Chains A and B, each alone.
Chain A
Amino acid sequence: MFVSAVPGPGFVPPSTNDFNLPPVFGNSAFTTKPILLVFLSVILISIFFIAAARKAAIVPGKLQFVGESVYAFVRKDLAEEIIGHGFLQFVPFLFTLFTFVLVNNIFGIIPFLQFPAMSHVAFPYVLAGFSYFIFHTIGIKKQGLGKYLKGIAFLPGVPKFAYILLTPIEIATYFLIRPVTLSLRLFANMFAGHLLLLVFIGGGNYMLHDNHLFMKILSPFSFGFGIAMTFFEFMVQCLQAYIITLLSALFIAGALVDEH
């Protein structure tokens, strides 16, 4: 790349430091940009969906139609298709998860906000924690603690000697790997996506202000790629919101059936 070919003394490549933003106001750990964005998302989602659902009309207006479409997507394509019987009680959780992640992700490409809160690993941890807590609770409630743990540790219909291998794997899957896959997938995607945008936009900015005319001329390519990546990011953001909800629904479904 030109950036590395011409070692400009001024260019600092984006790093993890760029994710540690100072407080927006005051000097509190609670007034940083991601935290304010998370609260903003809660307010926006609440207002939007309350407004959309308020009338609960048989023939929906535009607003209700949009809100309903999102809700129906989570309800039907995620909850009903995956969990099946008794899915309705999990719809509020899955719906909250989906909208919360989606809006916070999309904040990453909205001008002036431009920061995905999920690139701060604490938020995905919290979400995965809720999901983890819920599917284990359901499993224990449905099958009883002993039977649930036994079902996880000793897969039925497997020859006895295979338990030497399978039992540790299964236990690790349920208690370690699942929450990690839930949280880290979301985190890493948002983190990497934001970094990518920083690289291209920052690089373009650096090139534009370089002394060489050649670099100035080439800077639009970097900006252009940054814009293209922004669209790509939008896709990834929606996809990741879908995936974390999908996986949570799958885990809940797995805890509900007696034999998995």
Chain B
Amino acid sequence: MHSRFVAEAAQSPLLPKPAELIVGAIAFGLLFLVLRKFVTPMFEKAFAARTEAIQGGIEKAERAQLEAARALESYTAQLADARGEAAKIREEARVQGAAIIEDLRAQAQEEAARISAAAHSSIEAEREKAISSLRAEVGTLAVDLASKIVGEALEDQVRQSRIVDRFLEDLEKSK
């Protein structure tokens, strides 16, 4: 063994030993086959699965984001609608209120006009009635007076005054 060791010592370090060439080739080839069969496909599988998962996740997130954006949009639209609605209702109420006030005012005016017209007409009727009754009274009185004057044949002052007194007395009484 020692002699072999010495013999080897003389060999240049650049000259390969045949045993090591063989072992190196076998070992490397073996390792290559093992890694190619059991290791690299598994890592590739993991990478592919991961890429897919990440991509899927991204897609999912994108979808969710899109959905959220759409929801936000619809809510905003709804809110705007509601605001518009409220404004419309307010406007309507204002208009209605104004109309009601206007109506009431018109009604009141009408009522007032009606009342004053009625008063006018009743006064007029009263006046008319008074005038006609006065006219009838005056006529009757005039006729009475005339007939009395004609019937009694007034001769003297006393009689005359007596007739007038009696007429007035009658007039007083008839009242």
**B39 with A49: CB separation less than 8 A:** yes
Which chain A residues border B151 with CB–CB below 8 Å? none
In chain A between 194 and 217, which residues have their CB closer than 8 angstroms to a CB of chain B?
Answer: none
Kindly state the separation between the CA atoms of A7 and B27 in the bound complex, as whole angstroms: 44
**A91 with B40: CB separation less than 8 A:** yes
* A44 smallest CB distance to B (angstroms): 10
Q: Interface size bucket, B side?
A: 35 or more
In chain A between 1 and 46, which residues have their CB closer than 8 angstroms to a CB of chain B?
Answer: 16-17, 19-20, 22-23, 27, 29-30, 32, 34-35, 38-39, 41-42, 45-46
Which chain B residues border A121 with CB–CB below 8 Å? 13-16
Kindly state whether residue B20 has any CB partner on chain A within 8 Å.
Answer: yes
Partner of A56 from the list B34, B45, B53 (CB cut-off 8 Å) is B45
**B35 with A96: CB separation less than 8 A:** yes
Q: Interface-forming stretch among B1-9, B71-79, B82-90, B98-106?
A: B1-9
**A45 with B40: CB separation less than 8 A:** no
Partner of B23 from the list A35, A60, A95 (CB cut-off 8 Å) is A35
**A122 with B17: CB separation less than 8 A:** yes
Chain B at the A interface: mostly helix, strand, loop or mixed? helix
**A35 with B20: CB separation less than 8 A:** yes
Which chain B residues border A163 with CB–CB below 8 Å? none
**A71 with B40: CB separation less than 8 A:** yes
Which single residue of chain A is at the shortest CB-CB distance from B11? A20
**B31 with A92: CB separation less than 8 A:** no
Against B, the Cβ 8 Å flags (1 = close, 0 = not) of A63-76 are 01001100110010
Which chain A residues border B8 with CB–CB below 8 Å? 20
**Given A53-B42, A68-B43, A71-B40, A123–B31 Cβ distance below 8 Å?**
no
Kindly state the separation between the CA atoms of A91 and B28 in the bound complex, as whole angstroms: 15
Greatest chain B CB density within 10 A among A30, A46, A56 is at: A56
**B31 with A46: CB separation less than 8 A:** yes
**B25 with A95: CB separation less than 8 A:** no
Which chain B residues border A93 with CB–CB below 8 Å? 32
Kindly state the separation between the CA atoms of A95 and B40 in the bound complex, as whole angstroms: 9
**B27 with A122: CB separation less than 8 A:** no
Q: Interface size bucket, A side?
A: 35 or more
**Given A20-B5, A38-B23, A92–B35 Cβ distance below 8 Å?**
yes
Kindly state whether residue A57 has any CB partner on chain B within 8 Å.
Answer: yes
Kindly state whether residue B36 has any CB partner on chain A within 8 Å.
Answer: yes
**B28 with A126: CB separation less than 8 A:** yes
Which chain B residues border A125 with CB–CB below 8 Å? 16, 21, 24
Kindly state the separation between the CA atoms of A23 and B38 in the bound complex, as whole angstroms: 33
Kindly state whether residue B50 has any CB partner on chain A within 8 Å.
Answer: yes
**Given A19-B13, A58-B53, A121-B14, A95–B21 Cβ distance below 8 Å?**
no
Kindly state the separation between the CA atoms of A178 and B14 in the bound complex, as whole angstroms: 16
Kindly state whether residue B150 has any CB partner on chain A within 8 Å.
Answer: no
**Given A56-B42, A67-B43, A45–B49 Cβ distance below 8 Å?**
no
Kindly state the separation between the CA atoms of A50 and B43 in the bound complex, as whole angstroms: 10
Kindly state the separation between the CA atoms of A68 and B44 in the bound complex, as whole angstroms: 10
Which single residue of chain A is at the shortest CB-CB distance from B9? A17
What are 13 pairs between A and B in contact, CB < 8 Å?
A: A35-B20, A46-B35, A53-B46, A58-B46, A64-B46, A92-B32, A92-B40, A93-B32, A121-B14, A121-B15, A122-B21, A126-B21, A130-B25
Known pairs A58-B49, A122-B24. 12 more at Cβ < 8 A? A17-B9, A45-B31, A46-B34, A50-B38, A53-B43, A56-B46, A58-B50, A64-B46, A72-B47, A95-B40, A122-B16, A130-B28
The 3 A-B residue pairs whose C-beta atoms are closest, nearest first, are A122-B16, A122-B20, A126-B24
